[in-house]
Chains A and B, each alone.
Chain A
Amino acid sequence: MKSAVVVFPGINRERDMARALRLISGRDPAMVWHADSALPVGTDLVVIPGGFSYGDYLRCGAIAARAPIMDAVRAFAAKGGLVLAVCNGFQIACEAGLLPGVLMRNAQLRFICRDIFLRVERSDTPFTRGYNAGQVIRIPVAHGEGNYIADGETIARLEGEGRVLFRYSSPDGIIDPNWNHNGAMNGIAGIINERGNVLGMMPHPENHVEASMGRTDGRGLFAGLVDHFKAAA
């Protein structure tokens, strides 16, 4: 799997992401600068990592969504290329029109960093084939604006088309407001686009990939992607 990590000024989890990709795919990703206009030839997976692109001084992700490299990312996605957008990346993907909806401030109006539980809703996508449907995984969140909101019609479509891949849940997989730390509608933590090749998610699977560090719940996502490309080859 050849991956490319897009780096905007102010992005700060690109090293975490690069490490996870290296550990699991066995290959260093290409780091692509925001001012570039093309992705490396032969890229399988584009990753937009977390951070505070441009300080999040306008709206989260709004400036990055208009950076030169994003035209190439949009074209890549339009051709069916896989895009993984995490945290600030999710916000950027929404601002760039790759995904519907918007990430608002957390309901409690505070930044929250903690391990949360996610229920994996489907296992039949390239992003979630490393998990079982209904499986609960524990990975960290670290964001101030992760509260997913969309209009009723969009939510109905997302739900109707099975495009919610991850939902905040209790450790037993129950969807419960007490286990939804940011107030996201329907507990939505991660969604895919209509075509199913762009995933946006708030939590950080890249921070739980090493057994020696305690937990490996994030590994399934990357391992699944590696399998996906192996199967395709």
Chain B
Amino acid sequence: MIPNEPAVTPELIAQHGLTPEECERILKLLGREPSFTELGIFSAMWNEHCSYKSSKIHLRTLPTKAPWVIQGPGENAGVIDIGDGLAVVFKMESHNHPSYIEPYQGAATGVGGILRDVFTMGARPIACLNALSFGDPKHPKTRALVAGVVAGIGGYGNSFGVPTVGGEVRFDRRYDGNCLVNAMAVGLAESDKIFYAKATGVGMPIVYLGSKTGRDGIHGATMASAEFGADAEEKRPTVQVGDPFSEKLLLEACLEIMAKGCVIAIQDMGAAGLTCSAVEMGAKGDLGVVLDLDKVPCRETGMSAYEMMLSESQERMLMVLKPEKEAEAEAIFRKWGLDFAVVGETTPGKRFVVRHGGGIVADLPIKELGDEAPVYQRPFAELRKQAELDPAAVKPPVAIADALKALIGSPDLCSKRWVWEQYDHVILGNTVQRPGGDAAVVRINQGPKALALTTDVAPRYCEADPFEGGKQAVAEAWRNLSAVGAKPLALTDNLNFGNPERPEIMGQFVGCVRGIGEACRALDFPVVSGNVSLYNETNGRAILPTPTIGGVGLLDEFTQSMTAAFKREGDAILLVGETRGWLGQSVYLREVCGREEGAPPPVDLATERRHGDFVRSLIRDGLVTAAHDVSDGGVLVAVAEMAIASGIGAVLETACKVPAHAFWFGEDQARYMVTAKLTEPIFERASAAGVPIAALGATGGAVVSLEGERPISVADLKQRFEAWLPAYMADLH
């Protein structure tokens, strides 16, 4: 069509990540060979990252509805109603591949992308979280990846002006070749002023907003839809460069034009840039779109249609504008120093037409490109279940006190202060609970309501039993929200897996999604948004299955949010839930015994619900002085965390028949630690609700002491808890 464009050959098609079958499908759809630009557009729309072609049929099984859900998956972000005419808009998204190649910019643009997803819908971002998975601390790349990713997240979020209030950081050799960077953003909007991507009306102007288009990030989405080989480093040009300053301006300008009623539909330019945003707006509205690339603001001259359509330059938006509001909208964008250009319009025929240099460079059916992209039912293998591990068969290699010291200073359980102190977590003045607790708590405006926010997953459980692991990830998020006193409302899921073309990986994916769905249904905790990241593999080695759950809960009164720290000496320490001493896949088994085996702890969802509702009611009625979820590391690690947070020790005893090391370090689910001054009303309530509860001892002193064990100084525990990460990162240079 256009001179000097390369001929479309089978090799070129393969380079674009399209299979011969997909190519056949394109030929059939068009009745002719695609042009070079059209091939680029197809590859951008039909890659795994944008089309969800391997995951779609499974994602459809997830529960997404509840009376409080305003918008479920399929839009830029999920939306839930929190009363008072307010809605919470949130989503989590991965930026794994780019962060491994270029950690600072990869992570920074991950934050930028998810923030745009939220404010595109008319919400002002009020909090960010992030879940990070890195390789073995001993791997030569790990330290630099941690430093770069953390600096990148901070560099973007701090400048943009959103508090980063929570998240998680883990280390495992299985992430040596693929780190995971999952960023979550949460925004606040008026519930009757949510903006969507669906275009309406023929002949409406399509406006390009934000930064100019450059040659960065071309084929980023395609890159993120393939495994890494030895050439990962060479893919750096596919990583975008973030500009949080422009994003902050874009936020203010977008919210201003939305408030002025200028917007019909709006979509951010994220993965696959101009292509994906234009096609989605048209396809969702059953309309065609004409784009005139000669009008697109460009950073450099001589950009081809192909480059413009595939650029993933950041901080850009596409909007369908009310025609009568054009001058007003343009004036707002000029005030903020941003580009504003009418680059096309909606059309009646469902075609996606792209003009450039006086000619037509693409003319494609818009529905087939967008919501009717290929869908695959990939074969998956049911994975062999692991045998239950008898706690009596695990001989404790060291004394309980020494095991606790080792665990509290281990890479996964130690304090992540070094990370979250690099994030501004107090800006906006609404952070009630800062990072480091079970869930972050962020006040809504001037209160009294507040949101509780958390991210959770135990990848080692997911690998050992995807179904139970998927359930557990949801249950743990639910538990963390309950432990601060919040009612869990909805979640976003970020599903990170290896190559879905391998049946065993697909088996992990399917199992985890089934588990997530089961838990969401049992806990009335619907999925309202999410993201799938597949092909997290290098040279055939996949990551641990990592379906990160981002949970959102609501507190009616922010001053009632509960923390884990002991509050004073002499409070009773109570353990809610049943302890069988489950050591299979526990952190104790891995860190102390050097074994990674056994079935993970089973999750009984009815029990989870009963125990969570019980703890939440104790907090609401002011019966407890502290509450903490029991998870990785078990009861003793939970007690140690409560002691470290307060500087107050504990005297503990147990009459349980479970072997001591299994009792203290087992990871049975549906458990919480609480402290209280008066225990009688709590025991009465527990008995009435059918919740097992046991007295474990009392707070006080400067040591954690267990019957028959050496006392452990809280100061020593705190030193170990805080020391590992700074010491590790000090070796960076």
Interface set of A (CB-CB < 8 Å, partner B)? 9-10, 12-13, 15-16, 19-20, 51-52, 54-57, 110-114, 140, 142, 144, 204, 206-207, 209-210, 212-214
Contacts and interface: CB of A to CB of B under 8 A. Distances in A.
A212 B447 contact: yes
B438 interface: no
B432 A213 contact: yes
A213 B245 contact: no
A164 to B, nearest CB: 24
A113 B421 contact: yes
Interface stretch (B283-291, B423-431, B456-464): B423-431
Contacts of A51: 159, 161
B248 A12 contact: yes
Contact of B429 (A54, A56, A206): A206
B245 A113 contact: no
Nearest to B730: A108
Contact of A204 (B160, B336, B337, B426): B426
B244 A52 contact: yes
A52 B249 CA distance: 11
Contact of A142 (B158, B248, B336, B558): B158
A113 B423 CA distance: 6
Given A111-B155, A207-B427, A212-B559, 8 more contacts: A10-B249, A12-B248, A19-B429, A52-B245, A113-B420, A113-B422, A207-B429, A213-B429
Contact of B161 (A12, A209, A212): A12
Contacts of A213: 429-430, 432, 443
30 contacts: A9-B245, A9-B249, A10-B248, A13-B161, A13-B427, A16-B428, A16-B429, A51-B159, A52-B158, A52-B159, A52-B161, A52-B245, A52-B248, A55-B243, A55-B244, A55-B246, A56-B159, A57-B245, A110-B421, A111-B151, A111-B154, A111-B424, A113-B426, A114-B421, A142-B426, A206-B429, A207-B427, A210-B429, A213-B432, A213-B443
A9 B424 CA distance: 19
Contacts of A10: 159, 245, 248-249
Interface in B584-622: none
Interface residues of B, number: 31
Nearest to B162: A12
Closest CB pairs A-B (n = 5): A12-B161, A55-B245, A52-B159, A142-B424, A16-B429
Contacts of A15: 428-429
Interface string B484-504: 000000000000000000000
A51 B249 CA distance: 13
User: Which of B159, B337, B424 counts the most A-chain CB atoms under 10 A from its CB?
Assistant: B424
User: Which of A12, A16, A144, A214 counts the most B-chain CB atoms under 10 A from its CB?
Assistant: A12
User: Which of A51, A111, A207, A210 counts the most B-chain CB atoms under 10 A from its CB?
Assistant: A111
A113 B155 CA distance: 12
User: Which of A110, A112, A204 counts the most B-chain CB atoms under 10 A from its CB?
Assistant: A110
Contact of B337 (A9, A12, A19): A9
Contacts of A206: 429
Nearest to A12: B161
A142 B155 CA distance: 12
B454 to A, nearest CB: 20
Nearest to B433: A214
A52 B248 CA distance: 10
A10 B336 CA distance: 10
Contacts of A214: 432
A48 to B, nearest CB: 16
Contacts of A12: 159-161, 248, 427
Contacts of B426: 113, 140, 142, 204, 207
B84 to A, nearest CB: 18
Given A13-B161, A16-B427, A52-B244, A110 B151 contact: yes
A54 to B, nearest CB: 7
A113 B424 contact: yes
A110 B424 CA distance: 12
Contacts of B423: 111, 113
Contacts of A56: 159
Contacts of B151: 110-111
User: Which of B336, B421, B427, B429 counts the most A-chain CB atoms under 10 A from its CB?
Assistant: B429
B429 A55 contact: no
A114 B435 CA distance: 11
B689 to A, nearest CB: 31
A142 B447 contact: no
A166 B47 CA distance: 56
A213 B423 CA distance: 20
A110 B422 contact: yes
Interface in B146-179: 151, 154-155, 158-161
A144 B150 CA distance: 13
Contacts of A212: 447, 558-559
Nearest to A210: B429
A19 B446 CA distance: 10
Interface in B430-484: 430, 432, 443, 447
Interface string B227-263: 0000000000000000111101100000000000000
A54 B245 contact: yes
Nearest to B432: A213
Interface in B530-569: 558-559
A5 B643 CA distance: 43
Nearest to B558: A212
A47 to B, nearest CB: 15
Contacts of A57: 245
Interface string B62-81: 00000000000000000000
B425 A113 contact: yes
Nearest to B124: A15
A9 B248 CA distance: 8
Nearest to B147: A110
Contacts of B245: 9-10, 52, 54-55, 57
A118 B161 CA distance: 24
A106 to B, nearest CB: 10
A38 to B, nearest CB: 18
Nearest to B429: A16
User: Which of B155, B158, B160, B420 counts the most A-chain CB atoms under 10 A from its CB?
Assistant: B158
B167 to A, nearest CB: 14
